[in-house]
Amino acid sequence: MDTRTPPPERSPWLPFESRRRARDEKREAVLRTAVQLFLEQGYHRATLNEVADRLNITKPALYNYFRSKEDILFECWTIGQERVEDRIAEIAAADESGLVTLQMLVRAYAAIMASTFGASLVRFNVADLSEPNQKATLAGKRRIDRAFRNAIKQGIADGSVKPCDVKLTAFAILGALNWIGHWYKPGGELSPEQIANDFASRLTADIAKRPAKKPAEKKATKPVRKK
Amino acid sequence: MDTRTPPPERSPWLPFESRRRARDEKREAVLRTAVQLFLEQGYHRATLNEVADRLNITKPALYNYFRSKEDILFECWTIGQERVEDRIAEIAAADESGLVTLQMLVRAYAAIMASTFGASLVRFNVADLSEPNQKATLAGKRRIDRAFRNAIKQGIADGSVKPCDVKLTAFAILGALNWIGHWYKPGGELSPEQIANDFASRLTADIAKRPAKKPAEKKATKPVRKK
DNA sequence: CGCGTATATTACCCAAGGGTAAGAAAAAGT
DNA sequence: ACTTTTTCTTACCCTTGGGTAATATACGCG
C-alpha cells in the first residue's frame, strides 16, 4: 500500500527530505510543473491539486508563491515572452542587414517555440487571463510582430529583401513559427536547432533578394547561452 | 427596466413568436451561436446558459439537440473538418499538377480558416474532447496533413515542385494557414478571398519550379459556391 | 376535440475545484 | 531554549456551471 511512484520531475520538495532550498528555486519549480501540466491537459483541466501533487506538496502551499491560478498562468506566459524579447534585443543590437536580421529572428523564435515556456505563448488562451494581463500579452505580441515587420521593412530598404506586403509576409512567417508550438514534441526526430535552422532559410527563401543561400550559422553546434 | 437588447443574431426562437421551424435549423442555430461564443470567450468560460440566452431559450432546451457541452464542441469541429475535407476531395478530383493542386489546397484552406467553423479547427483545445473524439480529430488532422504532403510529393514527382523536405514544408505551409484562424477578424481590411489568393502564391513561391507566377484564378470574382 | 409526441420551462442536484482559515512544523533569529 | 517568521497541512467554504427530474406548453393527427 505504500509503493508510491516517484514524482515525474525532480522536485525541491523531496518527501521526508530536506526542504531548505531558496524560495525562488521553488517558485520556478512550481512554474515548470504548471506549464507542463497546462500544456498536457489544458489550463482548465489541470488542477492546482495536481500541480501540487507532482511537487510533493499540497495545494495551499502553492499560495505561498502565487496569488492565484491565473497568476501562475500569466507568469508562464511572461517567462516565454521575456525569452523572446531578450533575443530580439540581442539581434537588434547586432545591426545586420534586414534579411539577416529576419533570419536571425526566425531562428531564435523557432528555437524558443520548441520549448515549454515558448509554446505557452501560443497554446494558452488569452481569454483565461484577467483584463490587465490580457492587455500585457497583447502588447507583447505586438512587440514581436513589430520586430519581424521592422526587419522586413529594413530589408526592403537596404535591398536585401524583395518588395512585398510587409504585414502579410510577417503573418505568414510568424504563423509557420507559432505552429511549431503546436506540433513539436521533445522526443521527435528533429532537434529544436535543426528546425530553427531549416525554418530560417525556408521562411525567407521567397523574399530574399540574393539566390537564397542558407543564412550564416555562426557556431551552429554550440549556440551561445546568454547570461 | 424593460429595454431589453435585441439578440445579437437572428434566432429561430423569436420571443412570443412562431417556433415551428424544423429541428435541423435549430440545431444549426445552436451550433452557430455556440462556436461564436466559444471563440469569443473560450470553451470553458462560455456557459451553456449564455448560449441559451442568446437564442432566447433556456439551458435545458439545448439538451433536446445535444447530449452534452462537449458534444456541441465536437460538432463545431466536425463541421469545420467536413468543409475542409469536401474541398480536398474536390481538388483531388480536379487532378491537376502537384503544384497547382497544392495552390488550390492552400487557397481553399485559407478561406475556410477565415470562417467561424474553420477557426474552430485550430482554436479549440483537443484536451477538452472525450478520448474517442480526440482520436477523431487527430485522424482528421492527419488526413489534412496527408493531402498537403501528397500534393507536394506529387509536385516533386511531376516536376512542378522543387525537391524539398516534404514534412517540414507541409508544416510550414499549414502553420501559416492555421494561424489565420487566430488573427483573422471579419471586419478587417482584407477579405478571406484576398488572403486566400495571396497565401496561395506566397506559400508556394519558394518551392515552385517555374518562376512563381500567380496560381490560376478561375472565376476569382464569383467563386463557385458548392451545393 | 382529445391524445400522443416533441419541445421548453422551472426548480433543483451535485461534483469539481479555486481559494481561505487556523494551526502544526520547520527554520531562523536571539 | 524560547520566540518569531516562514512554510506547509488539514479541514473547510462556496461559487460555478454542467446536467437532470418533473412538469408545462405547443404541435400534429385522427
Per residue in A129-151, pLDDT tens?
Answer: 999 999 999 999 999 999 999 99
Q: Which residue has better confidence, B49 or A14?
A: B49
A69 Cβ partners below 8 Å, 6+ apart? A48
Same domain, A117 and A178: yes
Residues A97 and A30 in one domain: no
Q: Using alpha carbons, select from B165, B45, B131, B73 the residue that is nearest to residue A43.
A: B45
Q: Residue B171 is nearest to which of A40, A179, A206, comparing CB atoms?
A: A179
Contacts of B168 in chain A (CB under 8 A): 190, 195, 198-199, 202
Is A58 within a domain? yes
Do the domain assignments include residue B69?
no
On whether the CB atoms of residues A126 and A138 are closer than 8 A, the answer is yes
Residues B92 and B134 in one domain: yes
> Which residue from B minimizes the CA distance to A211?
B206
Whether A85 and A178 share a structural domain: yes
- For residue B217, being part of any structural domain is answered with no
Rounded to the nearest angstrom, the minimum Cα separation between B80 and chain A is 19
Report if residue A196 sits inside a domain: yes
Contacts of A68 (CB under 8 A, 6+ apart): none
pLDDT at A72: 98
Does A158 map to a domain? yes
Q: Do B176 and A180 touch (CB under 8 A)?
A: no
Helix axes A166-183, B192-202, angle to 10 degrees: 80
Average pLDDT, stretch B40-61?
98
C-alpha cell at B210: 517555374
A165 and B CB contact within 8 Å: yes
B14 has a pLDDT exceeding 90: no
What cell does B146 get?
A: 496527408
∠ at Cα A133 (A132, A134), nearest 5°?
A: 90
Q: Residue A75's beta-bridge partner residues?
A: none
pLDDT at A32: 98
Q: A186 and A86, same structural domain?
A: yes
- Are the Cβ atoms of A199 and B173 closer than 8 angstroms? no
Residue A156 domain-assigned (yes or no): yes
Is A208 strand, coil or helix?
strand
Question: Is the pLDDT at B134 greater than 70, yes or no?
Answer: yes
According to DSSP, the residues that pair with A161 across neighbouring strands are A208
| pLDDT at residue A98 in the model | 98
For strand D, the positions having any atom within 7 A of a protein Cβ are: 6-11, 16-22, 26-28
- In the listed set A62, A91, A116, which residue is the last one of a domain according to the structure? A62
Which candidate, B22, B128, B158, B167, places its Cα nearest to that of A194? B167
pLDDT exceeds cutoff 80 at B17: no
Same domain, B193 and B120: yes
How far apart, in Å, are the Cα atoms of B224 and each of A173, A176, B99, B194, B196? 30, 29, 21, 15, 15
Domain boundary among B13, B37, B62: B62
Query: Strand D footprint at Cβ < 7 Å?
Result: A 13, 19, 23, 26, 52, 56-61, 64; B 18-20, 45-49, 59-60, 63, 67-70
Each residue's pLDDT tens digit, A87-132: 999 999 999 999 999 999 999 999 999 999 999 999 999 999 999 9
Mean pLDDT over B192-200 rounds to 98
Long-range contacts of A149-152 (CB under 8 A, 24+ apart): A151/A98, A151/A101, A151/A102, A151/A105, A152/A98, A152/A102, A152/A207
Alpha carbons B151 and B148: distance in angstroms, whole number? 5
A85–B contact, CB cutoff 8 A: no
pLDDT, residue B22, reads 76
- Both B51 and B159 in a single domain? no
Nearest CA among B156, B169, B155 for reference residue B102: B155
Q: What count of Cα atoms within 13 Å lies in the side-chain half-sphere of residue B118?
A: 25
Within this chain, do residues B88 and B46 fall inside the same structural domain, yes or no?
no
Residues A57 and A81 in one domain: no
Residue A7: its pLDDT value, please? 40
Structural domain harbouring B179: 78-202
Q: Same domain, yes or no, for A115 and A197?
A: yes
Query: Are A45 and B128 within 8 A, CB to CB?
Result: yes
Q: Is residue B220 part of a domain?
A: no
User: Cell digits for A215?
Assistant: 543564412
* Regions of chain A with pLDDT less than 50: 1-8, 15-19, 212-213, 217-227
Q: If we measure between CA atoms, which residue out of A117, A97, A109 comes closest to residue A196?
A: A109
The pLDDT > 90 percentage for chain B reads 81
Any bridge partners for residue B161, and if so which? Answer: B208
Q: Let me know: does A97 contact A108? Beta carbons within 8 Å.
A: no
The pLDDT score that the predictor gives to residue B215 is 53
Q: How far is B142 from chain A (nearest CA, A)?
A: 12
pLDDT of residue B13: 60
Kindly report the CATH number assigned to the domain that includes residue B191.
1.10.357.10
B4, pLDDT greater than 90: no
Q: Cα(first)–Cα(last) distance of chain B, in Å?
A: 46
The pLDDT of residue A22: 77
Rounded-to-integer distance, Cα B172 and Cα B177, Å: 9
Shared domain for B197 and B96, answered yes or no, is yes
Q: What CATH number does the domain containing A54 carry? A: 1.10.10.60
Per-residue confidence (pLDDT) for residue B219, from 0 to 100: 43
- Does residue B6 lie within any of the structural domains? no
The per-residue pLDDT for B79 is 98
State the total domains in chain A.
2
Q: Write the CA distances from A226 to A83, A86, A126, B120, B126, integer angstroms.
A: 10, 9, 29, 38, 35
Residues A174/A144, Cβ–Cβ less than 8 Å: yes
Do A31 and A122 fall into the same domain?
no
Instruction: Please give the DSSP secondary-structure letter assigned to residue B208.
Output: B
Is B100:B208 a contact under the CB 8 Å cutoff?
no
**pLDDT at position B47:** 98
